[in-house]
Structure formats: structure tokens, C-alpha cells
């Protein structure tokens, strides 16, 4: 997993409440066995018409938000099923950070495990960002994870809170596998202490 330290990127505003994981990545596209390739199906039912052509009225099809790295969303983002594919799709599409008032718990944790930073801000601030993003073309934010700050185009800094364990994981690029391997010696020692007969299942 690539470390996350700083990010400067265009913000795409998805002005919808309670966006669930089935809307983020529809179930018919869950057949891929790798974590890559899901980006093309992100928000597919909203982004594409029945013929597979982009809908002009969907935010990600607007040229102003082409190449966006930060997704601005509303409350309870990522609710619904616990599928990790939702984060894979967002990451594969190019999003590295999310900003919303709240997230579903499992989705929130899955973000950290896949190198995506889910920032929580209060609804008043999120409302203000939505207004600013839609008024200024190619609106960009600068995110500094170590300082836990977001710098706006006008120079204003916003501060966000984050669990220190998840912060360390993102800064150092630590996923579940790497975290487990940090205890490799202890795991090996424990296995060696086990009697071989205890590993036999009847």
C-alpha cells in the first residue's frame, strides 16, 4: 500500500445522502478477482445510461471534475453492505481522499486498509465546501495528513481529527499484511512451541 502523506487535488462534489456500497459499485461488477479494474464501474448506474454511455448530468462526467482526487460527499457515505469492493472502486478510479460529515463504520475502516483517507468534517463546513466547489472551477484542496490540515484555495486551513493508529498506517503504508508481518518472529516462535499433535483435527 502506498503511503499517504500529502495530497493536492481537484474536488468532485457528490451531493447525495446515504450513498451505499451498492451504488458505489453495483453488484453485477463484483466478479473481478483482483483489486484493480473496478474504477470503470464506479457509480455505474448513475454515471452511465442503459447503453453504457456517460450521462451528461452526473458530476463525474462534468469536465470540471476530470482527474479529481478528492470526493466530497454527504452524511452516512458507504452505508449498506460491507463489501470492500466499494473502496477498491473509488481508489482505482483515482480518489485518494474523501470528505464527508459521517461514514458507515465498516466502509470507514476499509478505507484506511486500502490507502484512502476518509476525512470527517462537521456538516456546516461540508455545506460550505459544496458551495465553494460548485462556484470555482477546478477547485483544489491541499491535504496534509501529518499536520491533519486541509488548505483551501483562499489560504484558510481546516483541521480534522483522525485515530492515531489509522494515521500511522496511512503515513507508513501499512496494510493488514504488513502489520501482521511485523510480528513474524513472534508468530513463528508461537508455532514452534505448539505440539504437532495439537494441529491435527479429527
Tens of pLDDT, residue by residue over 36-49, are 999 999 999 999 99
Residue 119 inside a domain? The answer is yes
Assign residue 78 a region: left if phi > 0, alpha if psi is -120 to 50, beta otherwise?
Answer: left
Residue 179 inside a domain? The answer is no
Q: What is the CATH number of the domain that holds 168?
A: 3.20.19.10
Residue 63 inside a domain? The answer is yes
Q: Of 144, 141, 150, 158, whose CA–CA distance to 8 is shortest?
A: 141
Sheet strands side by side (includes 149-151): 117-120, 97-100, 70-72, 6-13, 140-144, 149-151, 157-159
Give pLDDT, residue 181: 44
Q: CB burial class (10 A; 0-12, 13-18, 19+) of residue 19?
A: buried
Asked whether the predicted pLDDT for residue 183 surpasses 50, the reply is no
**pLDDT level of residue 171 (50, 70, 90 thresholds):** very high
Asked whether the predicted pLDDT for residue 2 surpasses 50, the reply is yes
Rounded to an integer, the average pLDDT of 65-75 is: 98
Q: Of 17, 29, 20, 127, whose CA–CA distance to 75 is shortest?
A: 17
Residue 10 inside a domain? The answer is yes
Per the structure, the count of domains in the chain is: 1
Q: Of 164, 173, 159, whose CA–CA distance to 116 is shortest?
A: 173
Residue 193 inside a domain? The answer is no
Cα–Cα–Cα angle for 76, 158, 73, rounded to 5 degrees? 25
Residue 158 inside a domain? The answer is yes
Give pLDDT, residue 167: 97
Q: Are strands 149-151 and 70-72 parallel, antiparallel or unpaired?
A: unpaired
Contacts of 125 (CB under 8 A, 6+ apart): 158
Asked whether the predicted pLDDT for residue 26 surpasses 60, the reply is yes
Are residues 108 and 78 in contact, defined by beta-carbon separation less than 8 angstroms?
yes
Are residues 1 and 114 in contact, defined by beta-carbon separation less than 8 angstroms?
yes
Query: CB-side exposure of 109: number of CA atoms within 13 Å?
Result: 5
Parent domain of 87: 6-174
pTM for the model = 0.87
Q: What is the dihedral of CA 126, 44, 3, 34, to 10 degrees?
A: 160
Residue 139 inside a domain? The answer is yes
**pLDDT level of residue 82 (50, 70, 90 thresholds):** confident
Give pLDDT, residue 169: 96
Residue 191 inside a domain? The answer is no
Amino acid at each position: 500500500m502506498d503511503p499517504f502523506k500529502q495530497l493536492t487535488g481537484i474536488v468532485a462534489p457528490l451531493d447525495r445522502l446515504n450513498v451505499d456500497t451498492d451504488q458505489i459499485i453495483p453488484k453485477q461488477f463484483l466478479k473481478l478477482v483482483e483489486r484493480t479494474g473496478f474504477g470503470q464501474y464506479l457509480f455505474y448506474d448513475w454515471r452511465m445510461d442503459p447503453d453504457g454511455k456517460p450521462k451528461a448530468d452526473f458530476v463525474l462526467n462534468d469536465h470540471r471534475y476530470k482527474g479529481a482526487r478528492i470526493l466530497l460527499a454527504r452524511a452516512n457515505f458507504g452505508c449498506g453492505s460491507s463489501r470492500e469492493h466499494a473502496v477498491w472502486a473509488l481508489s482505482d478510479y483515482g480518489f485518494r481522499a474523501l470528505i464527508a460529515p459521517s461514514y458507515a463504520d465498516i466502509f470507514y475502516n476499509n478505507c484506511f486498509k486500502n490507502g484512502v483517507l476518509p476525512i470527517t468534517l462537521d456538516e456546516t463546513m461540508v455545506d460550505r465546501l459544496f458551495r465553494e466547489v460548485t462556484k470555482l472551477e477546478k477547485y483544489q484542496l491541499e491535504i496534509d495528513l501529518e499536520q491533519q490540515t486541509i488548505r483551501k484555495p483562499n489560504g484558510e486551513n481546516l483541521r480534522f481529527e483522525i485515530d492515531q493508529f489509522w494515521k500511522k498506517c496511512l503515513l507508513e503504508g501499512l496494510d493488514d499484511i504488513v502489520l501482521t508481518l511485523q510480528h513474524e518472529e513472534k508468530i513463528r516462535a508461537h508455532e514452534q512451541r505448539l505440539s504437532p499433535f495439537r494441529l491435527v483435527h479429527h
